[in-house]
Amino acid sequence: MDLALAFATQLYPASAKRTIHELKPFSMNPRAAGKLSFHKKFSCSVAVAADRIRVSEVEVENKKHDLLRTVQETQRGLVATADQRSVIEEALVTVEGYNMGEPIELGKLDGTWRLQYTSAPDVLILLEAAARLPFFQVGQIFQKFECRDQSGGGVVRNVVRWSIPTLLEEQEGATLVVSAKFDVVSVRNIYLKFEEIKVQDINIGEQLQALIAPALLPRSFLSLQILQFIRTFKAQVPVTSPERRSVGGLYYLSYLDRDMLLGRAVGGGGVFVFTKAQPLEL
């Protein structure tokens, strides 16, 4: 006991004062506190903005789906009633509002687009003829834009697959291509200058093929040459000439994203609803 007391006395002499370390409440520099507060607010703002973008994207996709659903039973506009056209126009205007005023992205426009609906008279007359005439069919209709790596314009090709039953293959017996150059003239408008009309990719039907070159061997060299000529045949008609003024028109691209293109032919030429399609080789 005495030994322990002596040891304690050496550590803490009676005349010495013991040092007591007090723990003070944590305090932050006001400037550092302000930075932390700003960081928290900024992080919250970014998170809210990201959530709004995600909600907006979902909303746009839903509206696009609604538009495609309204045109689904109209046979690309051929049998649309006045009431249906009114509903379609309302759905179309709703989608157009999501990127209205944004400049045209030619890289996004480049590619092949399949027609889902139109009110354009020059297209509807083709669809009507196919519906009335037993010897004429209209298959898929496309717009093919070639404007990648361009800044002020490019080329657009209006492509119509058509056929004459028994003579040509169903729906895609031949291809009509109307080509035009286009220039971007404003934020959303392009001006088309039509240059050429072409008929190509003729695929004759089995009946006509058997008539030209019977299935019984041997086939003559002449009959094979005729078949090859028909398959590779192209008829080109220029739309412009030195004596004739170029035919053109203003086209308003009212909506564009990765899988939908909406357009309006300025001057009452009708509206167009396209969806992205697989690349088309011409």
Angle at 263 between CA 260 and CA 265, to 5 degrees: 165
Strands annotated E in the chain: 111-118, 137-146, 153-163, 174-184, 189-200, 235-238, 247-256, 260-265, 270-276
pLDDT at 81 over 70: yes
Model confidence pLDDT, tens digit, residues 126-185? 999 999 988 889 999 999 999 998 889 999 999 999 898 877 877 678 899 999 999 999
Quick one: 197 exposed, middle or buried, by C-beta within 10 A (0-12, 13-18, 19+)? Answer: middle
- pLDDT interval class at 198 (50, 70, 90): very high
Model confidence pLDDT, tens digit, residues 170-186? 767 889 999 999 999 99
Reported pTM: 0.73
Distances (CA, A) of 182 to 69, 126, 178, 266, 270: 31, 24, 13, 14, 19
Q: Would you state the pLDDT for residue 224?
A: 58
Mark out the alpha helices in 141-205 (DSSP H runs): none
Q: Which of 3-17, 138-152, 209-223 has the lowest mean pLDDT?
A: 3-17
Q: Residue 188: which of 132, 126, 250 has the closest Cα?
A: 250
Q: Residue 276: which of 143, 177, 180, 160 has the closest Cα?
A: 143
- pLDDT interval class at 90 (50, 70, 90): very high
- pLDDT interval class at 34 (50, 70, 90): low
Q: Residue 172: which of 208, 205, 144, 195 has the closest Cα?
A: 205
Percent of the chain at pLDDT above 70?
A: 65
pLDDT at 73 over 80: yes
Q: Residue 64: which of 228, 264, 262 has the closest Cα?
A: 262
Model confidence pLDDT, tens digit, residues 236-269? 667 665 555 557 889 999 999 999 999 999 988 8
| Average pLDDT for 34-40 | 54
SS percent in the chain: helix, strand, coil, step 5: 35, 30, 35
Q: Would you state the pLDDT for residue 7?
A: 37
Tell me the pLDDT of the chain averaged across its residues. 79
pLDDT at 29 over 70: no
- pLDDT interval class at 99 (50, 70, 90): confident
pLDDT at 48 over 80: no
**Torsion angle of the four alpha carbons 90, 96, 101, 104, in this order, in degrees rounded to the nearest 10:** -150
